[in-house]
Amino acid sequence: MPDTFIKNNMSIVVSFLVAVFTAGGIFAEFTAIKNELTTVHERLDKKIRIINDLEDRLLDIEKQLEYERGFLDAAKKKKK
C-alpha cells in the first residue's frame, strides 16, 4: 500500500523532500546571518567604548589646557 502511494504520487514526495531541504538551507542561512550580526554588534560595542574613552580623555586634556591658559593669563595680569 505505501509503495503504491509513493509510486502514484512521486511528484508530491519529491516536492516534499525539496521543501524540507530548502527549509534546512534557509534555516542555515538565517543562523549564519544571526551569528555574523552578533559578531558585528560585539565589534561595534567595542568601538563605541573606545570612542567614549577617547572623548573622556579629550575632555580631560581640554580642561587641563583651559586651566593652564587661565593660570598663565592670571600670572600676566598679576605682573602688570
Cell numbers of 63, please? 580642561
Q: What is the pTM of this model?
A: 0.59
Query: Grid coordinates 593652564 are at which residue?
Result: 68
47 by DSSP, 3-state: which? helix
pLDDT confidence tier of residue 36, bands split at 50, 70 and 90: very high
46-74 pLDDT per residue, tens: 999 999 999 999 999 999 999 999 988 88
* Cα–Cα distance measured from residue 53 to residue 74, given in angstroms and rounded to the nearest whole number: 32
**Domain boundaries in the chain?**
2-79
Which residues have a Cβ under 8 Å from the Cβ of 6 and sit 6 or more positions away? 13
Contact 8, 2 (CB under 8 A): no
For residue 48, the model assigns a pLDDT of 97
Contact 59, 67 (CB under 8 A): no
For residue 1, the model assigns a pLDDT of 56
Cell numbers of 59, please? 575632555
